[in-house]
Amino acid sequence: MAEKTPAPQRVGMFGGAFDPPHWAHRALAETALHQLKLDVLHILPTGHAWHKSRVLSSAADRVAMCELAFGDLPNVQMDQREIHREGPSYTADTLRELQSEYPQAQLFLVLGADQLLSFKNWVRWQEVLELATLAVANRATNIGADVPLDNATETDLSSVDLPFELLNMPLKNISATAVRARVGQPAQSVDALDVLVPEPVASYISQHHLYQTPT
C-alpha cells in the first residue's frame, strides 16, 4: 500500500504587492522556509491592496514575476486567492481559509519590519495574531536603490508590544519603489536592475515595458 504523505505541520503565508518582487522578498522567503522549517510557504500577491495608494501593475504581471522570483524555491506555493477575491482582501480572511485547509498546522505570517510597525492598523489584527505567529525580518530604515548596504540602519523594533519571532536575515535596503524608480530612469540597462531583482524578473520588466512612468 502506498504511504500517505504527512499533512503539512508548519505553514507560512507571505503576502505583498510584489510590484515587482525583488531580492529582499526572495531572501525573506528563503530565510522563513529555512529558519521556520516550513512544510509549505504560500506566496500571495495582493488583489485590491487597501493599504497602498498607488494603482498596482496588473495581477497577471505580478503573478508572472512572482513565478520567476520564487518558483524555483522548494516548498513554495503560488497562491492567487487574494487576487480572485471580490472586494478588499484581508490577511485575517486568508489565514482563516488556510486554517481550515490545514487544520493541524501551525501558521506563520511572514513580513518585514515596516509592516510590523503598522500592524495595529491592519483590519482585524487581533484575529491575525490569534491565527498565526508573526515572523518578522528587520528592514533597513534607509531604504533605497543607491544607499550602500554597509550604511544600512536597522529599524528599531524595541517599542513593539506584540509577540513575534525575528527572522535572521541580513539587512536589505531594497524596495519595490526603488526598483520602479530605477527602471523609469533613462538609459537603464537590464544589467543595472540585477542588483535589485532576480535576472528573469529584470528581463520580464524590460520585455513588458513595465514601470516606464514614475509612480
Residues that bind ligand ATP in the complex, under the rule CB under 6 A: 16-19, 24-25, 28, 111-112, 114-115, 137, 139, 172, 174-177
* Residue with Cβ nearer ligand ATP (10 or 172): 172
Nearer to ligand ATP, 17 or 157 (CB): 17
**Measured from the CB atom, is 7 or 211 closer to ligand ATP?**
211
Query: Checking phi first, is residue 211 left (phi over 0); if not, alpha (psi -120 to 50) or beta?
Result: left
**Is 11 or 28 the residue whose CB approaches ligand ATP more closely?**
28
Element containing residue 25 per DSSP (H, E)? helix 23-35
Output the smallest distance, CB 6 to ligand ATP, in A.
29
Distances in Å between the Cα of 90 and the Cα atoms of 1, 15, 33 are 42, 10, 23
The C-alpha atoms of residue 175 and residue 186 are separated, in whole angstroms, by 19
Residue from 41, 69, 75 nearest 197 by CA:
69
In angstroms, the CA 152 to CA 203 distance is 28
Phi and psi at residue 42, to the nearest 5°: -85, 125
CB of 54 to ligand ATP, least distance (A): 8
Rounded distance between C-alpha atoms, residue 69 and residue 25, angstroms: 9
For 134, the 3-state DSSP assignment is strand
Cβ 38 vs Cβ 82: under 8 Å = no
Nearer to ligand ATP, 25 or 182 (CB): 25
Residue nearer to ligand ATP on the CB measure, 9 or 52: 52
